[in-house]
Amino acid sequence: MGARAKKSAEQRLLEFLGSPRYQPLNKTDLARHLQIPADERAAFRRLLSDLETRGKITRIRKDRYVLPEEADLMVGVLQVNPQGFGYLLNEAGDGLGDLFISEENQGTAMHRDRVVARIIRDRVLPGRGGRSRANREGRVIKILVRANQKIVGTLQRSKNFYYVVPDEPALVHDIYVTVQPGRLPRTPEVNDKVVVRLEPWEHRHVNPEGEIVEVLGPARKPGVDVLSIVRKYDLPVTFPEAVLEEAEQIPLEISVKELRAREDLRSTPIFTIDPDDARDFDDAIHVVAGDGGWTAGIHIADVSHYVKPGGALDREARRRGNSVYLPDRVLPMLPERLSNKVCSLRPNEDHLTKSVFVEFDRAGRIQQYRFASTVIRSIARFTYRQVFAILQEKPANAIEEHVHRAWQLAAILRKRRFNHGALDLDMPEVRVKLDQEGRAIGLVREENDISHQLIEEFMLLANELVAKETKQRLIPSVYRVHEDPDPQRIAEYREQIRSYGIEVGDLSQRREMQRFLRTVAGRAEESALKIGLLRSLRRAVYAPDPLGHYGLAKADYTHFTSPIRRYADLLVHRAFAVMLPRRTGKPPRSVDLAATCEHISTTERVAADAEREAVRLKKLEYFAEIIRKPHRLDGTIVEVRNYGLLVELKEALVVGLIHISSLDHDFFVFDPVGQRITGRRSKKSFVVGDRVVVRVAGVDAFKQQIDFALLAKQ
């Protein structure tokens, strides 16, 4: 079936299954009822399979199709807690919350599998602060997609057999394996990291079995931990030969013809600002001040000029979706010839760009804007640290004056943005310093300071204006969408806030949400509460429709400013080209956009999970090493539980546990309402916000946990 016919068939099918008089039918009877021509029956069967995988429809007895909600069924991704129980994530947006799945009701489903569950009862689950919340309970009845075809873990041996302990704590079952010398280039040994291909698992009361297909090396060998993550998330490491060959055909020099066809900005004082170790410079800016206001230029590497739709480079970029930044390596979306040379806006070199020019009045209000294809020659490559230092002093030369001028405008734009309702959800990051062998030797905390905010405001501005224009001109494009939060999740989060002793109003009101974020700024529990908030909000995704961005308080938003490392931005550049006075290229094909948006939303999520886990493992490696040395670490109690104190090390952004049994040979009583424990004998108490000095008592690499020992209470 063609795209138009497929859409029509899907709509007709869903409407038919949702009609009041519908009686469950199998695929043959459905095709007959919907009058699907014989030559389109195969495509119709594929449509049924696709809709079932996506959770739009499901099969019941005798392979008859129904809408899940009509049969007390729910389709979604199973999230398993390391303790064994799990939740089926509710994708319907109906406000009814996730579905609780007890360990015994999971069958042979595993963490992140896409499953169908039958709703079996309502239940009450304990909430924070002694309160309760209603939820539904279900039982998995069908596995639609296995998320764990291959599993990475550590080989262990009991008296009688070998088994692999998965690196993912939520995969709660060990995998039985057989070790056969000579089958692999290197015979695996106990404590090796290995990759296991799972065999069909049919009985929950027998552990799953698998076959070792790759030996990564000893678990403690430098670099093996990050390589394990690369394999765990199935991240592509090398480029196919055809992709490299196509990249090599791209000239390093810009032709005279292309230079003449573009607006020449090579004499304009344009500069870049990036992290210390960055090599792919996507974006550059310049700001000019006049009597009536400001003019800003945002210049983005013109990747779409080199990566053509349908080519080997384009297909591989789509497959990867984005670059992945790990502590010891970068897995780029594009080959190095493009990402670090041809497209990277290195200083004192000519580079092709797509530019957004914006004129403002003195108050920072936009007067007009325009788009152009340009060529630039950056005068300086700044790091965030350099820009921060420059902004602390008066400008010493012309280049520093350009930086100060850019911050003056950015500060105005930032203030206006928050006045219009944007939420301050920025979090500091911690970068892990490695030695030459890849071992963690230090942690560097990086704040979202004014050097980051300077460049951020101009990127947000360009993204918004490009989205606004593609929407108004009805040009097929990709949008960055962050939908309004689920009211139930926000209500549950409000209870979490109140358990910290913080009173808040209706967080569904944007001004109240902003007030709350201002209230917790600088408090000991700020990080914990912000992380909780982010988990309560919907995840931002890519979509072909401009549905707005809740966190940024923008009706129109897209990703345009990082085409070297994000495929979404590359697609938006193709839409951008259609809006230029000298129209070039074609916009993305609208029939492909929905599937592409879903795909790149998935690759983005996978990359983020891999990056977070890699940093977490390197932090664990660092703390496991300092156990051997005398040390004292400043921390803050961010949560009190009946079994101990959760302490955050602010400089490392790491949370560890002081177990209650290790405290002062006293019996401590837990007060859940006051978030406090108090010793019966000593009357010593610990409460959220208390500052403490600790040392690392233990690191569990399997559980990815740190235990602290209390040295002093400040």
Average pLDDT over residues 400-413: 97
Average pLDDT over residues 547-562: 97
What is the three-class DSSP state of 239? coil
Q: What is the pLDDT of residue 584?
A: 67
Residue 177 inside a domain? The answer is yes
Question: Is 467 found in the same domain as 341?
Answer: yes
CATH of the domain at 81: 2.40.50.140
Identify the domain boundary among 66, 89, 106. 66
Question: Is 154 found in the same domain as 112?
Answer: no
Among the residue ranges 474-478, 584-588, 704-708, the one predicted with the least confidence is 584-588
Residue 224 inside a domain? The answer is no
Question: Is 84 found in the same domain as 171?
Answer: no
Q: What is the pLDDT of residue 76?
A: 86
pLDDT confidence tier of residue 311, bands split at 50, 70 and 90:
very high
Residue 589 reports pLDDT greater than 60 = yes
Residue 383 reports pLDDT greater than 90 = yes
The pTM score is 0.87
Identify the domain boundary among 172, 188, 219. 219
What CA–CA distance (Å, rounded) separates 560 from 299? 10
Residue 509 inside a domain? The answer is no
pLDDT confidence tier of residue 8, bands split at 50, 70 and 90:
low
pLDDT confidence tier of residue 487, bands split at 50, 70 and 90:
confident
Q: What is the pLDDT of residue 93?
A: 63
Kindly report the average pLDDT of the chain as a whole number: 90
High-pLDDT (> 90) share of the chain, %: 66
- What is the per-residue pLDDT across 449-469, written as a single tens digit (0 to 9) for each? 999 999 999 999 999 999 999
Residues 74, 117: contact at Cβ < 8 Å? yes
Average pLDDT over residues 159-175: 93
Among the residue ranges 5-9, 347-351, 694-698, the one predicted with the least confidence is 5-9
What CA–CA distance (Å, rounded) separates 489 from 495? 10
Question: Is 154 found in the same domain as 134?
Answer: no
Q: How far is CA 162 from CA 188, 225, 511, in A?
A: 11, 21, 57
CATH of the domain at 170: 2.40.50.640
Q: What is the pLDDT of residue 612?
A: 94
Residue 209 reports pLDDT greater than 50 = yes
Question: Is 556 found in the same domain as 640?
Answer: no
Query: 24: which residues sit within 8 A by CB, 6+ positions away?
Result: 60, 64, 65, 66
Question: Is 157 found in the same domain as 141?
Answer: no
Residue 225 inside a domain? The answer is no
Residue 172 inside a domain? The answer is yes
Q: What is the pLDDT of residue 696?
A: 96
Residue 5 reports pLDDT greater than 60 = no
Question: Is 657 found in the same domain as 603?
Answer: no
Nearest in space to 508 (alpha carbons), one of 494, 521, 527: 494
Residue 96 reports pLDDT greater than 80 = no
Give the start-end residues of each E strand in 499-577: 541-543
Identify the domain boundary among 145, 174, 201. 145
Question: Is 53 found in the same domain as 77?
Answer: no
Residue 55 reports pLDDT greater than 60 = yes
For residue 73, the surrounding DSSP H or E stretch is: strand 73-80
Q: What is the pLDDT of residue 23?
A: 86
Please list the alpha-helical segments (H only) found in 321-476: 336, 384-391, 398-419, 450-472
Q: How many structural domains is the chain composed of?
A: 5
Residue 316 reports pLDDT greater than 50 = yes
Nearest in space to 694 (alpha carbons), one of 665, 714, 672, 671: 714
pLDDT confidence tier of residue 71, bands split at 50, 70 and 90:
confident
- What is the per-residue pLDDT across 472-484, written as a single tens digit (0 to 9) for each? 999 999 999 999 9
CATH of the domain at 22: 1.10.10.10
Query: 50: which residues sit within 8 A by CB, 6+ positions away?
Result: none
Could you tell me the residue range of the domain that residue 133 belongs to? 72-145
Question: Is 81 found in the same domain as 121?
Answer: yes
Residues facing residue 369 across a β-bridge: 358
Question: Is 279 found in the same domain as 402?
Answer: yes
Question: Is 213 found in the same domain as 353?
Answer: no
What CA–CA distance (Å, rounded) separates 290 from 631? 55
Question: Is 636 found in the same domain as 612?
Answer: no
pLDDT confidence tier of residue 673, bands split at 50, 70 and 90:
confident
What is the three-class DSSP state of 301? strand
Average pLDDT over residues 31-57: 85
Residue 30 reports pLDDT greater than 50 = yes
Residue 391 inside a domain? The answer is yes
What CA–CA distance (Å, rounded) separates 569 from 304? 9
Residue 92 reports pLDDT greater than 90 = no
Nearest in space to 526 (alpha carbons), one of 433, 626, 426: 426
CA atoms within a 13 Å half-sphere pointing along the CA-CB vector of 640: 22
Residue 522 inside a domain? The answer is no
DSSP codes of every residue in 328-357: TEEE-SS-HIIIIIISS--TTSEEEEEEEE
Among the residue ranges 16-30, 60-74, 424-438, the one predicted with the least confidence is 60-74
Residue 287 inside a domain? The answer is yes
Average pLDDT over residues 589-608: 89
